[in-house]
Amino acid sequence: MNCIMKIQKLLEKKFFRYCFCGGIAAIVDLGLFFILNELFLVHYLIALTISFPIAIIVNYALQRRVTFKSKGQKRVQVPIFFAIQIGGWALNAALTALQVEIFGVWPTFARLVAGILVIVYTYSSNKKITFKERNK
């Protein structure tokens, strides 16, 4: 029963909003990644390094306004958000490289799988750290 309750908490509305906004950022990220990697033949790790920061900016704007409806100070939130996202980028790059180099997975698909796995880390970190309710 305890496990079911934990799953229900994970699937609260805020998490769905997070996934929706993150999905938009992921479309930006994967779209740009695909264009760079597949059409311009940019190495997948370089393409990731270019596409990911652009998606971070889109993601921050959406998460701040839609998911967490934050009115917190941007000067505090932005560096924290970006630090968490850089951790997400590192996990994403490592998981992508592992899939491509070890298992021979197509880079765009590997990015998609890695991104899904990184969502849990970034959501919980942003909820607990970046957008937590701070006493005024």
Q: Is residue 61 part of a domain?
A: yes
Q: Is residue 5 part of a domain?
A: no
How do residues 74-108 score in pLDDT, each as one tens digit?
788 889 988 998 999 899 999 999 999 999 999 99
**Structure tokens that stand for 28 in this block:** 């930006």
Number of structural domains (the chain) is 1
Mean pLDDT (the chain) is 85
Q: Is residue 68 part of a domain?
A: yes
Q: Is residue 125 part of a domain?
A: yes
What does the DSSP 8-state code read for residue 11?
A: T
How do residues 47-83 score in pLDDT, each as one tens digit?
988 998 899 899 988 988 888 877 777 788 889 988 9
Q: Which residue has the higher pLDDT, 34 or 76?
A: 34
pTM: 0.73
Q: Is residue 1 part of a domain?
A: no
What does the DSSP 8-state code read for residue 49?
A: H
- Residue range of the domain that includes 37: 13-130
